[in-house]
Structure 1
Amino acid sequence: MQLNIENIDSLKNAHVILPTKESFQYPEKVLQFGTGVLLRGLPDYYINKANQSGFFKGRIVVVKSTNSGGADAFSEQDSLYSVCVRGTVDGTLVEEDIINNSISRVINANTEWNKILETASNKDLRIIISNTTEVGIVDSDDKIMDAPPASFPGKILAILYKRFEVSPENGFVILPTELISNNGETLKKIVVNLAKKNNLGSEFVDWIITRNHFCNTLVDRIVPGAYNNENLSYDDKLMIMAEPFGLWAIESKEEEVKQILEFATIDKGIVITPSIEKFKEIKLRLLNGSHTLTCALSILSGFETVKQSMQNETFYQLVKTLLLEEIGPAIQSDTISENDITNFSNSILDRFSNPFLEHKWLSIATNYTEKFKLRCIPILDKWYNKYQSIPQFFSLGLAAYLQLLSSDIDISDKSQNTIRELWKSSSNPINAILKETSFWGQDLTIYDGLEEKLAFYLDKNLQKNAIQYMSAILKNTNISDEK
């Protein structure tokens, strides 16, 4: 049986959470660029959750900007799709299946551009969400009278110009979720410059700047992609899986933004805040940093996936210690509290332990050196400046990185050949690699004691004894909680 509106009443006993009948009648309040799984698994998930609770009461018009893949599945299923939430929360297994009806329709920008422009005349529609990938928010020389403009900023500008013509009192809240720094501000600058290139007038440019809110955002949720839940009694070509954790941090201090984004109160995972820098730092150091610092240790220990590593008690305690005893204290500040660190660290332990995710360590190791530089070296710097010492588990992670990249295990990292050469040819390879500014952007021998600590750990042959050595080190730490 195909999932669609006609068949939905027959699913009442299918152990799935169904949308209310009223929610199908809600007006369109959101214009969304993109049909991808992240959008459907995070913002659309939250909007649906708000709708089913009886507030916000708004649906999403989705713009499809590519011809590949087609919108046939959305049409066949009346834009309904299943979200299967799978993972652990506080160590407890979570399995929840939800039919999401937040999307009202999907419009193809290349063949139905006029329909998209018509949405600008809808005064209820005050929100624009996007995920066009990092290459979507780029400078262009679009002509906005083209149908459609070629670029994403060009399409946004055309919609803004239409709204300016028909309803200038109602600007938009624009929420790009693309994974670039300052995504809202970047999009705003490009759109304003494009308006000037198109000679649309100073009054319109001023309206873009003063009546619309381009918000920087940060999104964090693992949505692996298409999912096949054989336990459900219907066919769904759009079914996705998502982990329980979700974060959508939205940067704004404007009360109007909070009023328009009424759905934001439905879940603690949505945060509207004057600055999202805190959330960016926490995610980059605790989540991404711990991944990078434990990656080589996992591969050397013979673990293929993250969940497999976390099933090992020693490795679980290592991650916990690294988060709470090293990375956390290093980044704690006036804006990042101990409570922030503890809560996010606990969520990471759940996320890494998710039995439904197949996150492979060799994939995580791609571009390993660049990731280490961006994610981890700032942790070392913060720790060293605070405590004038070298963090123990950080050093172990860096030593494992050196052991891995100098070994015969091939990693997708452009620096590996250079590291192998230095390891073979240098009389002091650790010193030579630490001094290699092309890797780190600086000379790491400035951190007194780092070279000696790495030499000590590498002497233990981590490729053969990683787990045993991790266990020995943990016995001297403060964290002794059982998993």
Structure 2
Amino acid sequence: MTSRLSRSLLPDLPALPERMIQFGGGNFMRAFVNWQMQQMNLKGLFNGSAVVVQPTAHGKSTSLMEQDGLYTVLLKGRLQGQLVNSSEVIATVSRVINPYTDYEAYLKLAEQDELEFITSNTTEAGIVYEAGLRQEDAPHSSFPAKLTELLYRRFQLGKAGFIILPCELIEDSGEKLLRSVLQHAADWQLGDAFAAWVTEANTFCSCLVDRIVPGYPRDQADALEQKLGYEDPFMVSAEPYHLWVIEGPAWLREKLPLAEAGLNVIVTDDLSPYRERKVHLLNGPHTAMVPLGLLAGLETVEDVMKDSDLGRFVQELMEDEILPVLKLPRAELLDYAAAIRERFNNPLIRHELASISLNSISKFTARLLPVLIRYQQTQGKLPRLLVLSFAALLLTYRGDQVARRDVPEVLEAFDRNWIDPESFVPGILKEERLWGMDLTAVPGLEALLREHIGLLEREGVRASLHQLT
């Protein structure tokens, strides 16, 4: 019988000073931020650990301390043509604080001079200003309110500010977090001097993060634990590829020497081209393949990429319909697209289409709808492959062929409009709360969607693709 992973199994691991406060200890942060901290430590460039703050009352981050903050990262997949299959025990989480059970321990972080950085990944909904929160209602429900209180304690102590690196997948994350903090400061009447300190003594950086992290390898866990010689319920699998783009000052490269450690990290004064490339050319095809793949009876991203019909669809969608509307040089985009297809075609990670399908409507609206509209405006016609994927998405939300995974109000809108199949397309396109606009205003979209939905229903996915590719 194997033992639980702990420092007793690895007694030579050093205790590292806490240099980072990390809101969120989920799979992504442990396989991305904490993993990168370890790579800097191994090169002798950082010598630091992170204290994790559990962002929600019902989180499980504190359970990580049952194994002394240690866990295993499994890198599985292809990187620059080479197959990677490695395991590494990560030792950059010093402790976990639950502010809902020990709020004072959380606020005492403001006293530690060695803490210089704050990172976060509290989901896309995490950086949201919540009106009506009072300063005395601690612990606050929102991340920005918690951060405001911590910064205020730091200010009162007369200490230096932080470098703040929010990794939530939203545009202008640093700027939005700063605005929320300043709004809470105004609500709580914390004073002009504090507001000035927040802006001048702290550096809020917007971030773009990229690594596919499927998480705990449930189907392989027993075999892996036998091979590794210990139990690790916090084991996390990830692809080898990673990218962290930080919109911040040039001096940050020396302060946080990620790139010097050989990591794929870019510090820039404008991350918008990188965000557009990632959202539309990586996340976009990920979202586009799901409804077609599910309707074709496929289960994983790898299944799609190895399928002659669906694999060709992904490549032609990227090169013929998404690339033409992006602003970076075409040669650079083609290289990036090829790297993405290599990442998708990963034999060592089972990335299920059903799991990716969660909240597909909001994903389509953010990742693919801007491409569809821009293509129509610049090319004078609609992107037929993208519209076919849109049609398949609408069919999957009928619920009779594919299980739907979305919020109740989205499902209610589809159920209401599917009552009358004849009026479904114009009805659903008029649901502005789904798409952010009335899509019946897009020239030709209603008619082409009707055509593609009919084609999919009559002929199926493969025959429909054969007619369009």
TM-score category of the 2 structures, normalised to the smaller one: 0.7 to 0.9
User: Which one of the candidate residues 339, 347, 355 is aligned to 2:339?
Assistant: 347
Which residue of 2 is the match for residue 234 of structure 1? Answer: 230
CA displacement 1:301-325 (0-9 Å, x = unmatched): 2213322222212221221111122
CA distance in 1, matches of 2:133, 2:446: 53
- SS of residue in 2 equivalent to 1:186: helix
Q: CA deviation at 1:209?
A: 1.0
Q: CA deviation at 1:401?
A: 3.9
- SS of residue in 1 equivalent to 2:347: coil
- Is 1:255 aligned to residue 255 of structure 2? no
Matching of residues 106-117 of structure 1 within 5 Å? 106-117=96-107
Q: CA deviation at 1:83?
A: 0.6
Which residue of 2 is the match for residue 387 of structure 1? Answer: 379
State TM-score, norm by structure 2: 0.84
Matching of residues 194-343 of structure 1 within 5 Å? 194-227=184-217, 228=221, 229-230=224-225, 231-252=227-248, 254-330=249-325, 332-333=326-327, 336-343=328-335
CA 1:220/1:415 → structure 2, altered by over 3 Å: closer, same or farther?
Answer: farther
CA distance in 2, matches of 1:433, 1:70: 39
- SS of residue in 2 equivalent to 1:344: helix
CA 1:162/1:284 → structure 2, altered by over 3 Å: closer, same or farther?
Answer: same
Which residue of 2 is the match for residue 45 of structure 1? Answer: 35
Q: CA deviation at 1:84?
A: 0.9
User: Which one of the candidate residues 396, 407, 415 is aligned to 2:388?
Assistant: 396
- The answer as to whether partners of 1:2 and 1:234 remain within 8 angstroms in 2 is yes
- SS of residue in 2 equivalent to 1:156: helix
Which residue of 1 is the match for residue 69 of structure 2? Answer: 79
CA distance in 2, matches of 1:267, 1:204: 38
CA 1:191/1:459 → structure 2, altered by over 3 Å: closer, same or farther?
Answer: closer
CA distance in 1, matches of 2:401, 2:14: 54
> Match for 1:182: what amino acid?
D
- Is 1:131 aligned to residue 121 of structure 2? yes
CA distance in 2, matches of 1:312, 1:286: 20
CA 1:111/1:364 → structure 2, altered by over 3 Å: closer, same or farther?
Answer: closer
Q: CA deviation at 1:40?
A: 0.8
User: Which one of the candidate residues 178, 182, 192 is aligned to 2:168?
Assistant: 178
> Match for 1:289: what amino acid?
G
- The answer as to whether partners of 1:50 and 1:266 remain within 8 angstroms in 2 is yes
Q: CA deviation at 1:74?
A: 3.2
- Is 1:417 aligned to residue 407 of structure 2? no
- The answer as to whether partners of 1:127 and 1:172 remain within 8 angstroms in 2 is yes
Which residue of 2 is the match for residue 8 of structure 1? Answer: 10
User: Which one of the candidate residues 153, 159, 169 is aligned to 1:162?
Assistant: 153
- The answer as to whether partners of 1:304 and 1:362 remain within 8 angstroms in 2 is yes
Q: CA deviation at 1:245?
A: 2.6
CA distance in 2, matches of 1:295, 1:382: 22
Q: CA deviation at 1:126?
A: 0.9
- SS of residue in 1 equivalent to 2:258: helix
CA distance in 2, matches of 1:221, 1:214: 22
Q: CA deviation at 1:24?
A: 2.1
CA RMSD of aligned residues (A): 3.2
CA 1:140/1:29 → structure 2, altered by over 3 Å: closer, same or farther?
Answer: farther
- The answer as to whether partners of 1:300 and 1:462 remain within 8 angstroms in 2 is no
- The answer as to whether partners of 1:407 and 1:420 remain within 8 angstroms in 2 is no
> Match for 1:210: what amino acid?
E
- The answer as to whether partners of 2:206 and 2:246 remain within 8 angstroms in 1 is yes
Q: Which runs of 5+ in 2 are unaligned?
A: 405-410
> Match for 1:3: what amino acid?
L
> Match for 2:239: what amino acid?
E
- The answer as to whether partners of 2:373 and 2:442 remain within 8 angstroms in 1 is no
CA 1:31/1:385 → structure 2, altered by over 3 Å: closer, same or farther?
Answer: same
Q: Which runs of 5+ in 1 are unaligned?
A: 10-20, 475-483
CA 1:462/1:354 → structure 2, altered by over 3 Å: closer, same or farther?
Answer: farther
> Match for 1:263: what amino acid?
L
CA 1:419/1:71 → structure 2, altered by over 3 Å: closer, same or farther?
Answer: closer
CA 1:463/1:293 → structure 2, altered by over 3 Å: closer, same or farther?
Answer: farther
- SS of residue in 1 equivalent to 2:50: strand
- Is 1:62 aligned to residue 52 of structure 2? yes
CA 1:264/1:354 → structure 2, altered by over 3 Å: closer, same or farther?
Answer: same
Q: CA deviation at 1:293?
A: 2.8
Larger radius of gyration: 1
State TM-score, norm by structure 1: 0.82
CA distance in 2, matches of 1:418, 1:148: 40
CA displacement 1:129-169 (0-9 Å, x = unmatched): 1223324643355565777556433432333233324444x
- SS of residue in 2 equivalent to 1:386: helix
CA 1:296/1:144 → structure 2, altered by over 3 Å: closer, same or farther?
Answer: closer
User: Which one of the candidate residues 353, 357, 366 is aligned to 1:361?
Assistant: 353
CA distance in 2, matches of 1:72, 1:399: 44
- SS of residue in 1 equivalent to 2:38: helix
> Match for 1:240: what amino acid?
V
CA distance in 2, matches of 1:433, 1:316: 29
> Match for 2:330: what amino acid?
E
CA displacement 1:166-205 (0-9 Å, x = unmatched): 444x221112223444322222122223223333332222
CA displacement 1:221-241 (0-9 Å, x = unmatched): 232333422321112232111
